Amino acid sequence: MARIIKTLAIFLLYFVTATVESSPVTDEVIHSQSDQTEHFTNLYPDRYPQGNFLKWQWQKLFNSQSNTTIPPTPSVSPDLTLIHHPPKDVLVTWIGHSTILYQYDGVNFLTDPIYSDYASPLPPLGPKRRVPPGVPFNQLPHIDVVVISHNHYDHLDLPTIRALADQTGGPPLFLVPLKVKAWMMDNVDKLNIPAYSNKVQEFKWQQSIHVQGRTKNFTLTFLPVHHWSARSLWDRNETLWGSWAIVHPGFRFWFSGDLGYSKDTVDIGESFKYFDLAAIDIGSYKPRWIMANYHINPSEAVKVMQDVHAKQAFGIHWGVFKLSDESYTQAPEDLNKALVDQHISQDKFIVLKVGESKIYKELN
């Protein structure tokens, strides 16, 4: 029975981490951005031969490793006074995984929010949360804007989306990739109320929207990175994926979403010139023969920071859900090693504890 349950869990993990073949660069890429095809493609081809997800999981299933003591994912109690009375400067709080509370100029942004215990279509099977969210949901400030990078279960969590739509004061503005809006409208009843019909906006790559801050406007732009999408066996790459630039005259922030290394980040750096801060994935990278095309490792994360010309960065997508073979706490260790190897100050690319807040001074 235990093996049957584990097999089902592997099947569900497929919807979070399994890799897929990416088409070569063709005119279809342009067509996909104009809604002329049923499936989206990456701008650049995969760098490596495609690994076999089922082979990887089969080996894990029949090669049980001995139990070892795993260090806890570092966490702290949130500074709720600071969160509910943020400073004039940027305040970033890592809630866990890819969920970030980003507060600046009177606007509360939330990225890829997941508060569920399982990143799975069928809990309690699938990846289980190891550490509670850094800020309890009922202690969040009113969320103004939610940005979604793609539709995998660890990034687009239906119970959390429904709870946000029901928050006191009305739903936030949901900014989602192309073709995700229909899913939102089908699954979140609150968003079908006429008064909230404009609360979900979907984006192609390079599309932008302005959001009013207390003093000046933010410009949010949806940008390509190398990844994929799916929530079932039948909808692979039918919705878009990407990263988000959140640019304000006083501070420029980039949220990577999930990504494999590609020229996309070089293009972003050339287009945007620099960011004051970047939140970059550092986890879910082993084994490389299965993960390399769609999940960067810490060394590549440092390169991504350099590509987008980020003055500072912090690591996300680690320590909360077991999605790959590295330990919960290996990503920060590998990140520090990569920084040393590349002669970069460890203060430039940090990791936060779950629940930890950090103030970043306005740099302009």
Q: Read off the pLDDT of residues 274-302 as tens digits, 9 standing for 90 and up.
A: 999 999 999 999 999 999 999 999 999 99
- Residue 277 has a pLDDT of 99
**Which two three-digit tokens encode residue 159?**
């119970």
In the DSSP assignment, the letter for residue 350 is E
DSSP 190: G
Domain assignment present for residue 58? The answer is no
Domain that includes residue 94, residue range: 80-360
In a domain, 52, yes or no: no
16 within some domain = no
Residue 24 lies in a domain: no
For β-strands 90-96 and 357-360, DSSP reports them as antiparallel
What's the token pair of residue 169?
Answer: 């004061």
Asked if the structure places residue 222 within a domain, the reply is yes
- Whether the CB-CB separation of 103 and 87 falls below 8 Å is answered with no
Query: What are the structure tokens assigned to 30, written together?
Result: 């342009």
Number of other residues whose CB lies within 10 A of the CB of residue 61: 13
Which of these ranges, 34-43, 177-186, 212-221, 241-250, has the smallest mean pLDDT?
34-43
User: 1 pLDDT band (50/70/90 cuts)?
Assistant: very low
- Total number of domains in the chain: 1
Whole-angstrom distance, CA of residue 303 vs CA of residue 265: 9
Closest CA to 128 of 136, 112, 111, 116: 116
In 148-276 the beta strands, taken as DSSP E runs, fall at: 173-177, 200-203, 208-212, 217-223, 243-248, 251-255
Flag whether 203 is in a domain: yes
How far apart CA 299 and CA 67 sit, in angstroms, is: 28
CA angle, 157 as apex, 333 and 138 as ends, to 5°? 90
| Mean pLDDT value of segment 119-140 | 97
CATH of the domain at 84: 3.60.15.10
Q: What is the pLDDT of residues 293-338, one digit of tens each?
A: 999 999 999 999 999 999 999 999 999 999 999 999 999 999 999 9
- Whether 15 maps to a domain, the answer reads no
On whether residue 25 sits in a domain, the answer given is no
